[in-house]
């Protein structure tokens, strides 16, 4: 079905991972499940912290427990939108997004280490949602290159990811509904476990995300080498990339030091993706530009429904 498009466009990059739309969809599904697990467990952590630090009256007045019930259809729309967007983003654009975010995460980690302030790292965990999805799709594409039964392996990975995402979302729904009651009456094993060890969820998430990005950085580096560095004009990619990223890091650090808000974080996303868009206009092809535009939509789909998480991080410090 996609062969005419590939012939007309003159490039195989119209399709992100080859000419098998099933593989594209399964990889996008795994990425969306990873984002879902991250958001669900982060919400569980912040809700647990709020309930631990608040009075019983405050917990009863809080609107957080009903939010997942009222917005359940929004979560479904967000999940499948991310699946389609991650399926559409090409491997070239995904690898650059992973490397760009990894470098920015390292600079933020070094800055937080000097300032002894964990707020930047917590905010970075919220901002990495779509980049995390790109990490998973890049890693799967790298591992399944040339595999004889790649579709079956991707199906198993998607099934496991779906199960993990379902468990994570179910845990968040259970906690939002019943944790204020069960934590006082101590009649639920899940809530008792969260009461005793819920404070370790965020640290475990951070370690898992770091591991995923570390593996994806290796895969992305290999993809960048295959797609860009083997070309004669490879310096045309790296020189603008280094210059744009250096200016971007300086801007981001100054902006975050002056003001930290949801509007500021959205502006930072636009600036860094705008830098990649300019880079692709310079050294990429038109399909790379299209994939970066898909990334803009993906970041919006991730960040706009998670304003509650951003506000929770901002208020926790």
pLDDT tens column, 271-290:
778 877 877 777 767 888 88
User: Where on the phi/psi map is residue 160: left (φ > 0), alpha (ψ -120 to 50), or beta?
Assistant: alpha
Both tokens assigned to 114: 């000097």
Contacts of 278 (CB under 8 A, 6+ apart): 240, 244
pLDDT tens column, 61-105:
443 434 444 457 788 899 999 999 999 998 888 988 998 888 878
Helix (H), strand (E), coil (C) string for 302-316: HHHHHHHHHHHHHHC
Average pLDDT of the residues of the chain: 77
Provide the domain limits for residue 61.
19-315
- Rounded Cα gap, residues 166 and 159, in angstroms: 11
- Does any domain span residue 96? yes
Closest by Cα among 170, 182, 173, 135 to 28: 135
- Rounded Cα gap, residues 306 and 10, in angstroms: 39
- Does any domain span residue 281? yes
- Does any domain span residue 2? no
- Does any domain span residue 9? no
Structural domain count, the chain: 1
- Does any domain span residue 197? yes
Closest by Cα among 145, 178, 142, 135 to 33: 135
Q: For the purposes of burial, counting CB atoms within 10 Å of the CB of 269, is it exposed (0-12), middle (13-18) or buried (19 or more)?
A: middle
- Does any domain span residue 13? no
Q: Taking the mean position of all CA atoms in its chain, how far away is CA 216?
A: 12
- Does any domain span residue 51? yes
- Does any domain span residue 6? no
- Distances, alpha carbon 306 to alpha carbons 36, 78, 183, 303, in Å: 11, 11, 25, 5
Mean pLDDT by 10 residues, the chain (317 residues): 38 49 92 95 87 52 43 83 92 87 79 58 86 94 82 93 94 85 75 84 92 93 75 63 67 59 73 78 79 90 86 72
Both tokens assigned to 2: 């996609």
């Amino acid at each position: 079905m996609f062969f005419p498009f590939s012939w007309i466009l003159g490039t195989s990059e119209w399709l992100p991972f080859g000419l098998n739309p099933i593989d594209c969809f399964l990889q996008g599904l795994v990425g969306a499940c990873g984002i879902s697990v991250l958001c669900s467990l982060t919400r569980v952590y912040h809700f647990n912290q709020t309930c631990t630090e608040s009075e019983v009256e405050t917990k009863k007045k809080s609107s957080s427990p009903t939010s997942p019930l009222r917005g359940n259809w929004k979560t479904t729309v967000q999940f499948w939108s991310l699946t389609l967007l991650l399926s559409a983003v090409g491997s070239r654009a995904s690898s650059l997004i992973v490397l760009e975010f990894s470098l920015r995460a390292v600079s933020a980690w070094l800055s937080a280490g000097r300032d002894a302030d964990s707020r930047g790292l917590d905010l970075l965990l919220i901002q990495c949602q779509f980049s995390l999805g790109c990490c998973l799709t890049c890693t799967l594409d790298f591992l399944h290159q040339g595999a004889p039964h790649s579709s079956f392996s991707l199906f198993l990975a998607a099934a496991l990811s779906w199960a993990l995402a379902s468990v994570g979302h179910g845990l968040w729904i259970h906690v939002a509904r019943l944790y204020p009651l069960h934590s006082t009456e101590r009649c639920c094993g899940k809530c008792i476990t969260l009461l005793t060890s819920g404070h370790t969820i965020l640290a475990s998430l951070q370690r898992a995300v770091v591991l995923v990005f570390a593996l994806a950085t290796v895969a992305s580096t290999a993809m960048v080498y295959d797609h860009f560095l083997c070309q004669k004009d490879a310096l045309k990619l790296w020189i603008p990339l280094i210059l744009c990223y250096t200016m971007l890091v300086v801007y981001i650090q100054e902006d975050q030091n002056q003001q930290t808000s949801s509007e500021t974080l959205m502006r930072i996303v636009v600036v860094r993706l705008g830098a990649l868009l300019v880079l692709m206009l310079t050294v990429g092809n038109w399909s790379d530009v299209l994939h970066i535009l898909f990334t803009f939509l993906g970041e919006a789909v991730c960040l706009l429904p998670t304003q509650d998480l951003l506000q929770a991080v901002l208020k926790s410090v």
